Amino acid sequence: MSLQEEINKRRTFGIISHPDAGKTTLTEKLLLFGGAIQSAGAVKNNKIKKTATSDFMEIEKQRGISVATSVMAFNYRGKQINILDTPGHKDFAEDTYRTLTAVDSVILVIDCANGVEAQTERLMEVCRMRNTPVIVFINKMDREGRDAFDLLDELEEKLAIKVKPMSWPIGIGASFKGVYNMHRDTLNLFSGNKTQIEKEIVEIKDLDDPLLNDTIGDKDAEMLREEVELVNGVYGDFDRETYLSGEVAPVYFGSALNNFGVQELLNSFVEISPTPRGRISDKGPVEPTDKNFSGFVFKIHANIDPKHRDRIAFLRIVSGEFKRNTFYKNIRLDKKVKFSNPTSFMASSKEIIDEAYPGDVIGLYDTGTFKIGDTLTTGEDFMYKGIPSFSPELFREVQNDDPMKTKQLEKGLEQLTDEGVAQLFIKQPGNRKIIGTVGELQFEVIQYRLKHEYNASCSFMHRPHHKACWITSDKQAEIDEFVRRKSMNIAYDKEGNIVFLADSPFLLSQAELDYPAITFHTTSDFKLD
Ligand code: G4P
């Protein structure tokens, strides 16, 4: 198969939602419809199995949240679908943001009773920054929820994106009868069924077909006709280009738990979703069809097996063909590396692969050299942009509780922060270590993992900072002056960049006023500009 054909075959996307909207259930059902798993419940079972093999996952079990981002690949209708799962919990938002750099589109799951929730808004902001195409799945239609028009209004308003309903629900909750597919003129009738892939589809000629009345009754048929007329008037026709450019989100209604609307979603997804896209590097855009292989690391998972200190780096392939046992250049280290056992993430099993193509995510074993954001190429010198570190919002100073294990503590902190669990800043005098996170939970994760994976103990001392800002200026003298005057709030990131730890929004804007020649960056993106 040619490179172009391999590219055309692939679809790489993420499912995002506020916790509990039904992301796990939908993922599982997509795998079920894709033939990748045989029975419902497998994804959750798998989650539990993983928990048993890894101590760290104990936290996930206890909290009932998905800490780790995983990748699941399966074949459907001649396409290779790669689903990148993302943790819904807000404390792991950074992990999710990074994963979103590795997908070409997303499916956003909304709970029909709760509508747009806080975490949905934040995730969509990241999608909008990158013009990622979005499909919305309004879930739990078997439960009492909000009016469909209301939900669509809220989506447009809170997510700042236009919507286009592709199907329309008939009733909701106890009176939910199914959905009408506006493109195919079909009725997909609902029957609560959690275990089987049953579908009852009635084809009608158009909305005037008397079969509609015979099937759902006169009252609902009349209501459907009225609503669809209104929907068509308000939202117009679906235009794939506006979806691909991230301006319009097609919307589907269903119930993942009942396997309802999932097949329709999957079929439409393979029809309309984008093939793997290129990425922007610091030397310009790179297209997937470029012959030379390139890719970037967006996630690192360490110590999957605590007995072997191995790490697995998740690499998204951007261009060309990846081959096993071939030397590629890690640009940051200026070093050639090769991989003898790269793995794919087929949902059924993890297997060693000989080659992989744009859109694929592969797992590379390494012993601690990779960092998030690393670029691999066949030799060209460029770095992919856009895996920013956002300013943390919570800060703690690390206290070593077991001085005999100082080395282990340092190594653990170094590796865990390479993985992106949190950010590490060094403060002088005394090389004090400040950890910055976006959520409380990460401190627990760090403590737990230091103990279980590195045999080191630490506690944390609260630091009253509000934000970490990277500072740059054309005028070195002004930077020097600032560092001297604000020495109490100056620290350095792992690459040695100067960071201002502002104690409050007021003090940050004051510093901006007092030092106009200095730019204060709240993401680390500036490094690549
Ligand atoms: P998440 O990954 O987004 O956090 O959500 P998850 O799929 O775990 O779903 C959250 C809860 O919502 C689960 O119930 C799940 O069964 C339920 N759910 C998902 N889709 C639907 C749907 O279409 N209709 C209804 N009525 N419920 C749905 P739970 O009680 O928390 O878990 P479980 O005991 O069922 O596993």
Three-state SS annotation for 204-271: CCCCCCHHHHHHHCHHHHHHHHHHHHHHHHHHCCCCHHHHHCCCEEEEEECEHHHCECHHHHHHHHHH
Mean pLDDT, rounded, for 369-397: 87
CA of 47 to the centre of ligand 1 (A): 15
CA of 22 to the centre of ligand 1 (A): 5
Contacts of residue 363, defined as CB under 8 A and 6 or more positions apart, other chains included, come to 71, 312, 313, 314, 315, 342, 343, 344, 345, 350
- Binding pocket residue ranges, ligand 1, CB within 6 Å: 17, 19-25, 88, 139-140, 142-143, 255-258
Residue 109: the pLDDT is 96
CATH number at residue 129: 3.40.50.300
Q: Is residue 142 part of a domain?
A: yes
CA of 324 to the centre of ligand 1 (A): 40
Mean pLDDT, rounded, for 13-19: 91
Number of domains into which the chain is organized: 3
Q: Is residue 435 part of a domain?
A: yes
Q: Is residue 107 part of a domain?
A: yes
Over 90: is that where the pLDDT of 148 sits?
yes
CA of 17 to the centre of ligand 1 (A): 12
Out of 212-226, 336-350, 411-425, 437-451, which region has the weakest mean confidence (pLDDT)? 336-350
Residues 316, 457: one domain?
no
Q: Is residue 226 part of a domain?
A: no
Residue 97: the pLDDT is 83
Residues 166, 267: one domain?
yes
Q: Is residue 200 part of a domain?
A: no
Q: Whose CA is nearest to atom 15 of ligand 1?
A: 22
Q: Which of 225, 249, 272 is the last residue of a domain?
A: 272
Q: Tell me which residue range forms the domain holding 150.
A: 3-177+236-272
Residues 121, 254: one domain?
yes
Q: Whose CA is nearest to atom 33 of ligand 1?
A: 25
Residues 146, 150, 152, 156, Cα dihedral to 10°: -130
Residues 334, 372: one domain?
yes
Q: Give me 309's structure tokens.
A: 């200190």
Are β-strands 458-463 and 355-356 bridged in parallel, bridged antiparallel, or unpaired?
unpaired
Q: Is residue 124 part of a domain?
A: yes
CA of 156 to the centre of ligand 1 (A): 25
Q: Whose CA is nearest to atom 19 of ligand 1?
A: 22
CA of 196 to the centre of ligand 1 (A): 17
The chain-wide mean pLDDT, for the chain, equals: 86
CA of 171 to the centre of ligand 1 (A): 21
pTM of the model: 0.83
State the CB neighbour count (10 A cutoff) for residue 92: 25
Residue 34: the pLDDT is 82
Ligand 1 binding pocket mutation candidate from 18, 20, 27 (most atoms within 8 A of CB): 20
CA of 25 to the centre of ligand 1 (A): 6
Residues 262, 119: one domain?
yes
Residues 124, 164: one domain?
yes
Residue 41: the pLDDT is 54
Q: How far apart are CA 27 and CA 416, in angstroms?
A: 28
Over 80: is that where the pLDDT of 197 sits?
no
Are β-strands 311-319 and 294-302 bridged in parallel, bridged antiparallel, or unpaired?
antiparallel
Residue 439: the pLDDT is 80
Residues 110, 251: one domain?
yes
Residues 88, 29: one domain?
yes
Q: How far apart are CA 264 and CA 10, in angstroms?
A: 19
Q: Is residue 326 part of a domain?
A: yes
Q: Which residues pair with 335 in a beta bridge?
A: 330
385-to-290, 315, 342, 527 alpha-carbon distances in Å = 17, 14, 24, 9
Residues 410, 310: one domain?
no
Q: Is residue 123 part of a domain?
A: yes
Residue 254 CA: which ligand 1 atom is closest? 23
- Reported as a pLDDT band with limits 50, 70 and 90, residue 46 is very low
Q: Which of 255, 272, 289 is the last residue of a domain?
A: 272
Residues 325, 264: one domain?
no
CATH number at residue 431: 3.30.70.3280
User: In percent, how much of the chain has pLDDT > 90?
Assistant: 55
Q: Whose CA is nearest to atom 25 of ligand 1?
A: 140
Is residue 36 within 8 Å of 27, Cβ to Cβ? no
Q: Which of 221, 249, 272 is the last residue of a domain?
A: 272
CA of 140 to the centre of ligand 1 (A): 8
Residue 28 CA: which ligand 1 atom is closest? 7
Q: How far apart are CA 60 and CA 68, in angstroms?
A: 8
CA of 23 to the centre of ligand 1 (A): 8
User: In percent, how much of the chain has pLDDT > 70?
Assistant: 86
Residues 265, 317: one domain?
no
> Which of 487, 345, 480 minimizes the C-alpha distance to 427?
487
Q: Whose CA is nearest to atom 29 of ligand 1?
A: 20
